[in-house]
Structure 1
Amino acid sequence: MIVFKDHDIKAIANYSETLESGDQIPAFEVLSPDRQSVPFVFNSPHSGRTYLSSFLQTSRLDNTQIRQSEDAFVDLLIKDAQQLGAPILKANFPRAYIDVNREAYELDPKMFEGALPKHINSRSLRVAGGLGTIARIVGEQREIYRTRIPAAEGLDRIEQVYKPYHSALRGLLDDVQEQFGLAVLVDCHSMPSANSSKHNDQKADFVIGDRFGTSCSSWLSSCTVGLLQNMGYHVALNRPYAGGYITENYGKPARGVHAIQVEINRSLYMDEHTHEPHSGFQDLRQDLMEFLSALVAMVSENFSKELLAAE
């Protein structure tokens, strides 16, 4: 797994932990509770904000533009969730570097110099839109790279970051399922406020994704939506975000693994132009802790009756 060393790091958000001389940052981290006491795993795969200078040198974007694809600060919004007795897996690498919410080899051959494996998926809609495993664009169709990427470099990102990340996520879910008989994955993301009203008459504060009822039990989806609505938030289900590769790949209710995606409207907690948290950040953080606490309690009290019935 890649380790980001301090002399390689170009940009770390001010709202993150500071680096001391000689520090290293792993590509991702698991924040573990003192004791695993609930059948949950929380995941923040797109909030990484540690950029290698070597990566930024290949980009035509400045340090603010390239951050437009981040699910900014989501890991900080949910960091207290480990107090509930569940681990949090969080990326430190940025989504623009590699996107673990894709298949391993959703790659656009036109982006690379050199031969790629024959088993790549170059025809997916996500690749066509410039948002494959190694993205071509961020935000408003902004091209990331100045020139083509060496194929070996792209494949190295998959081997050194993507595969270890999924190995860690799979391991966490396997451990939870072995202990409790089932596992619940909450995949946490944020969305631009401009996208939050697509397919809806009103701007959504949250969009809950369950792959149209296939990645988790309907009871879990209903609980998630209902809890947030009861807190006064406007909540949409599956539109415009039904869940990505992680939700689809890991959510297997018939096998005892339930995965649900939570998309948070960025305008609730940050200025989308300056890319800085605003005064709503702490209030939302407290609300999320209240919401997740209630969700964990409901599942812990009822999972044998409700979730195991979905198997």
Structure 2
Amino acid sequence: MKAAYEFTPGKLPLLVSIPHAGTALTPEVEAGLNDAARPLPDTDWHIPRLYEFVQALGASVLVGNYSRMVIDLNRPADDKPLYATATTGLYPDTLFDGTPTFLPGKTPSAQQRKSALDNIWQPYHQQLQTELERLKAEHGYALLFDAHSIASRIPRLFEGKLPDLNLGTNGGRSCDALIEEHLVACMANQKPFSWVANGRFKGGYITRAYGNPAQGVHAVQLELAQCNYMDEQAPFGWRYDRAAQLQPLLEELIHTMLTGARQIA
């Protein structure tokens, strides 16, 4: 079985988590996917490549290897819904557009799903927690940047076109207010990309579970509209021209988060 994640430790007080870029499948999921789900359309395509600069900066990086079609690393283990509006669960039975994920009678069994929880979800979260504890012990605080992307138009999930940058801080509860203020100012001070803070995407389970500013752990989620760096139709190609415009802003956001944290440390 493929490892649950790839992890690279860094020297900064920052962990970049990328839970939805994986494409590995368990045999039962691969055998059961219908034609609409087989291209893995709900993947956060190319996110490790988009954020490859963070390793050069010295951040720790944690990347999930398995597709969210197997298990969603950004959902709670008890599968309680994170949003009152349409969403997908720990074991997605539908795609974002509402199409069934699996062929009739081919949904993985409860035992197979429990295996995914034990062997994929749990190891990822254990590594995430262990690294945040290490960073806090070494630096006095820890920063968590949860990196995501999604198709810019999904009528079932949101009306119209999604803003280019969607910052989530669980309504201000997952990080210090000064860090959020700095990040909002950074987005507001540029013109090419639209943005929103705590709009449709306020942060998933990872942001909500690990962000605890009172304990010195500050977490944010950034959901990117995929049209800004890739083709949104299969085969979901990387767009050099668009990514080259977006990456400097992402790097500025990372620096801004680090600077804000130093001011409150």
> Under a length normalisation based on structure 1, what TM-score does the superposition of the two structures give?
0.76
Q: In the TM superposition, what are the counterparts of 1:107-186 in structure 2 within 5 Å?
A: 124=81, 131-146=88-103, 147=105, 148-186=107-145
On the 8 A contact 1:192/1:265 being kept in 2, the answer is yes
Equivalent residue for 2:264? 303
Q: 1:126 to 1:99 in 2, by over 3 A?
A: farther
1:205-239 residue CA offsets vs partner (Å, 9 max, x unmatched): 10111111111111111111211232323220111
SS in 2 for 1:69: coil
Structure 2: how far apart are the matches of 1:70 and 1:133? Answer: 14
Percent sequence identity over aligned pairs: 25
Equivalent residue for 1:76? 49
Q: Once the 2 structures are TM-superposed, how far is the Cα of residue 270 of structure 1 from its aligned partner?
A: 1.0
Q: 1:51 to 1:213 in 2, by over 3 A?
A: same
Structure 2: how far apart are the matches of 1:127 and 1:203? Answer: 18
Task: State the 4+ residue runs in structure 1 displaced beyond 4 angstroms.
Answer: 125-130, 195-200
Equivalent residue for 2:250? 288
SS in 2 for 1:157: helix
Q: Once the 2 structures are TM-superposed, how far is the Cα of residue 260 of structure 1 from its aligned partner?
A: 0.8
On the 8 A contact 2:178/2:260 being kept in 1, the answer is no
Q: Once the 2 structures are TM-superposed, how far is the Cα of residue 193 of structure 1 from its aligned partner?
A: 0.9
Q: State which structure, 1 or 2, has the greater radius of gyration over its C-alpha atoms.
A: 1
Q: Which region of structure 1 is more displaced relative to structure 2, 190-199 or 210-219? A: 190-199
What is the aligned-residue RMSD (CA, Å)? 2.5
| Paired residue total | 259
SS in 1 for 2:202: coil
On the 8 A contact 1:84/1:293 being kept in 2, the answer is no
On the 8 A contact 1:210/1:247 being kept in 2, the answer is yes
Q: 1:125 to 1:256 in 2, by over 3 A?
A: closer
On the 8 A contact 2:186/2:252 being kept in 1, the answer is no
Structure 2: how far apart are the matches of 1:205 and 1:291? Answer: 14
Picking from 32, 54, 57, the partner of 1:58 is 32
Higher-strand-fraction structure = 1
Q: In the TM superposition, what are the counterparts of 1:253-292 in structure 2 within 5 Å?
A: 253-274=213-234, 275-278=236-239, 279-292=241-254
Structure 2: how far apart are the matches of 1:209 and 1:125? Answer: 13
Unaligned runs of 5+ in 1: 5-25, 107-120, 305-311
Aligned amino acid, residue 277 of structure 1: W
On the 8 A contact 1:207/1:264 being kept in 2, the answer is yes
Q: Once the 2 structures are TM-superposed, how far is the Cα of residue 145 of structure 1 from its aligned partner?
A: 1.4
Name the structure, 1 or 2, with higher relative contact order (CA <8 Å, separation 6+). 2
Q: 1:217 to 1:126 in 2, by over 3 A?
A: closer
Structure 2: how far apart are the matches of 1:216 and 1:74? Answer: 23
Unaligned runs of 5+ in 2: none
Q: Once the 2 structures are TM-superposed, how far is the Cα of residue 198 of structure 1 from its aligned partner?
A: 4.9
